[in-house]
Amino acid sequence: MKFLLLALTLAVVGCTKSKNKSDRIEISIPSDISTLDPANCFDQVCYMAVTPVYETLYEYEYHKRPYTLRPLLAEGMPMVSKDRLRYTFKLKKGIKYHKSEFVEEGREVKARDIVNQIKRLAFHGTRSQGWWLFDNKIKGINEFRDKVGTDLDLMFKTEISGVTAPDDYTLVVDLIRPYPQLLFAMAMNFTSPVPEEAIRATNNDLSLKSIGTGAYYITDYNSAQEVVLKKNANYITSVYPAQGDRYAHENGLLKDAGKKLPFVENVRLVVIKEAQTDWLNFMGKKIDIVNLTKDHFPLALTLEGKLKPEITEQKIQLYAAPTLTYWWLSFNMKDPIIGKNLNLRKAIAHGVNNDKFIELFTYNIAQKANSIYPPGVPGYSPSTEVPFKYDVKLAKEYLAKAGYPEGKGLPTLKYDVRGTDSRKRQMGEFIQQELRPLGINIEVRTNTFPAFLEKSRNGELQFWQGGWILDYPDAENVLQLLTTANLPPGPNSSQFSNPEFDKLFLQVRELEDGEKKFALMKQMEEIVNQELPWAMQYYSRNYVLFHNYLKNYRYSDIINNNFKYLRLEGK
């Protein structure tokens, strides 16, 4: 459940101290690294330090869209029982942990290590950000959680009835109900195997230590300054992919098919919080990649979204990437003014010019939303249309129907923004200016992001811009944001509650992708459009610049272990 920082612009750039940069990728990260523990890593910055080091049973195909999974630590896809309640995973043999202070050299990954990691997710002492993946989904896991409390020894001694390791290379998971998203869970860093020796040696505190099986291991770490990753010379888990989509074929991204990974000797992550510093270093060829922010669009792009000639002359390439990130105007459905008045919400939905918003704040890069589902989610349809368009006349009619002709008698609405910087404030002021001619007065309230999240968890927001990055490409991850079960402090910050929606959700979450699931998704979208807890705005797209000596680069919201695929040529 990833809440979005509005300026989630991961600038992949950096500075360097070494004289030899020919075999090292330099990357900047915009904030301190929160943790190295895969059980608690749940933000884009943290992923960049953790996912090159730790591996999971499955990973996403690097060059395939829509996203598909492929085995990583697993030998193949799991065996699934007819009732879809038992999954049997076979692990590859010979996969070894990095040399470390915790284990003997050559220590192999065993199924028991994954059992222990799932225990850590349930264990109160870990306070894991990944507990939601298995809460009330695996047999015995909630009973285990209640029994062991914060006693680490008891955690190891106590078994979860639904997670077993019959032998060193077999993992069996027994579910309470069908859970087709289990494979996505097994591709998230939360489920990376961790040896018991490391858990005990650190007293279950892996925030500053790491031991994985990945293509890289950490040699230097300072959470507020840098992380240095070194190539794992013994890496054998995967090779460069041989298959890809049309984009991969057209851009020659499969030339390294079947080759041993990783290609680059070192990766250095440097904490650089100023976007302007990133830009200057990138243009000075001191750094390798930069994610464009709004301030840099005029410097790099034409109004048509193409690279300016002076940029292409420097052998810089542009990657325009669709994402699984999207945005909407959100209403508190329990608020006595805005939540209890559908016509008022319709007036607002028709009164905001999203095309103008996209132009002003995304430089026309974002894609106008046509659905509550983003592209990339199976069941999304490009032919779907939202039931409201910018129409001031219609907005005024709905405002009158709401009981507030020309805004008379309507109290000032509170619009919260998720930041204190000028851009967030300007976005709020845009909404304010759009609605003022209707007679709707808005008070824009700035918040630090933690304060915004606290208001969200407490159900204290009235009207705001909601946003989400999908954890995995499945409609369940979208729809759970609007279920009664996830009311605050859960992620349903709109406090939307509809019995029919909840009933359909219980069906959708257990279905594999297909016509039946897609039909139910459509029904649920119709309920959302009728009740209007959300007024959709846009889907994000990322524009990334990189020097052409960096090969095989491709942006993704959910593929975070991409360093192993990158190659340097003539840096």
Q: What is the pLDDT of residues 180-194, one digit of tens each?
A: 999 999 999 999 999
Using the predicted structure, report yes or no on whether residue 367 has a pLDDT greater than 90. yes
Residues 299-318 have a mean pLDDT of 90
- Alpha-carbon dihedral sign for residues 265, 271, 272, 273: positive
Q: Is residue 109 part of a domain?
A: yes
553: CB partners within 8 A, 6+ apart: 289, 319, 544, 546, 562, 566
Q: Residues 541-550: pLDDT tens digits?
A: 988 999 999 9
Tell me whether the omega of the peptide bond preceding residue 336 falls within 30 degrees of 0, making it cis.
Answer: no
Helix (H) or strand (E) holding 543: strand 534-547
Amino acid symbol at 157: K
CA 208/CA 205 separation, integer angstroms = 8
- Is residue 533 domain-shared with residue 554, that is, in the same domain? no
Q: Please check whether residue 460 is in contact with residue 362, taking contact to mean a CB–CB distance below 8 angstroms.
A: no
- Return the percentage of the chain with pLDDT > 70, whole number: 96
More confident residue, 285 or 510: 510
DSSP state of 512: P
Averaged pLDDT for residues 184-206: 98
Q: Which residue has tokens 């430089």?
A: 363
The tally of CA atoms less than 13 A away on the side-chain side of residue 529 is: 16
Q: What DSSP string describes 18-71?
A: -S--TTEEEEEESS----S-TTT--SHHHHHHHTTT---SEEE-TT-SS--EEE
* Helix %, strand %, coil % of the chain (to 5): 30, 20, 50
484-521 residues labelled b (16+ CB within 10 A) or e (exposed): eebbbebbbbbbbbbeebeebbeebbbbebeeebbebb
CA pair distance 455, 433, nearest whole angstrom: 24
Are β-strands 69-71 and 58-60 bridged in parallel, bridged antiparallel, or unpaired?
antiparallel
Whole-prediction pTM value?
Answer: 0.89
Higher pLDDT, 560 or 139: 139
Residue 3 pLDDT grade (very low, low, confident, very high; cuts 50, 70, 90): very low
- The answer to whether the CB of 429 falls within 8 A of the CB of 460 is no
What mean pLDDT comes out for the span 464-469? 94
Contacts for 72 with CB less than 8 Å, ≥ 6 apart = 55, 56, 57, 58, 59, 187, 237, 238
| 238 shares a domain with 386 | no
Nearest Cα neighbor of 493 from 391, 418, 409 is 418
Q: What is the pLDDT of residue 571?
A: 85
5-35 pLDDT, tens digit per residue, is 433 333 333 334 444 677 999 988 888 898 9
Average pLDDT over residues 53-65: 97
Extract the tokens encoding 107: 């220590």
The pLDDT value recorded for residue 566 is 98
Q: Give the model's confidence band at 363: pLDDT under 50 very low, under 70 low, under 90 confident, else very high.
A: confident
Beta strand 289-291 with 534-547 is: antiparallel
Pull the structure tokens for residue 103: 């284990």
Say whether the peptide bond before residue 38 is cis (omega within 30 degrees of 0).
Answer: no
Judge if 148 and 167 occupy the same domain.
yes
Q: For the chain, how far is it from start to end, CA to CA, in angstroms?
A: 38
pLDDT at 6: 38
Q: Domain count of the chain? A: 2
- Does residue 299 sit within a domain? no
Q: What is the mean pLDDT of residues 134-147?
A: 98
Residues 555 and 533 in one domain: no
356/466 same-domain check: yes
Name the residue with tokens 């991204």: 253
For residue 482, tell me if it sits in a domain.
yes
Pairwise CA distance, residues 213 & 210, whole Å: 10
- pLDDT winner (highest mean) among 36-45, 126-135, 156-165: 156-165
The answer to whether residues 227 and 335 belong to one domain is no
Residue 309 maps to a domain: no
pLDDT category of residue 516 using cuts at 50, 70 and 90: very high
Mean of pLDDT values over 226-251: 96
pLDDT score, position 8:
37
Residue-by-residue DSSP string for 99-165: P-SSS-TTPBP-HHHHHHHHHHHH-TTT--TTGGGTTTTBTTHHHHHHHHTT-HHHHHHSPPTTEEE
Question: For residues 39 and 190, is the Cβ–Cβ distance under 8 A?
Answer: yes
Residue 284 domain-assigned (yes or no): no
Domain CATH number, residue 515:
3.10.105.10
274 is a domain residue: no
4 pLDDT band, cuts 50/70/90, is very low
* Whether 402 and 533 share a structural domain: yes
- Answer yes or no: do 442 and 332 share one domain: yes
- 498 plus 366 within the same structural domain: yes
Structural contact between residues 410 and 441, judged by C-beta atoms closer than 8 angstroms: yes
Q: Which two tokens stand for residue 535?
A: 């007024």
**Range with lowest mean pLDDT among 69-78, 316-325, 479-488, 525-534:** 316-325
Alpha-carbon torsion, ordered 402, 410, 448, 450, to 10 deg: -50
More confident residue, 12 or 273: 273
Same domain, 224 and 259: yes
CATH number, domain with residue 215: 3.40.190.10
Residues 58, 69 contacting (CB under 8 angstroms): yes
Q: How confident is the model at residue 320 (pLDDT cuts 50, 70, 90)?
A: confident
Q: Give the total residue count for the chain.
A: 571
What are the tens digits of pLDDT across the range 379-422? Answer: 999 999 999 999 999 999 999 999 999 999 999 999 999 888 78
Where in the sequence is the domain holding 425, given as residue range(s)?
323-541
Location of structure tokens 């807890």 = 533
- Whether residue 399 is found in the same domain as residue 537: yes
Q: Are residues 483 and 560 in the same domain?
A: no
**Amino acid of residue 361:** F
295, part of any domain: no
In a domain, 305, yes or no: no
Per-chain mean pLDDT for the chain: 93
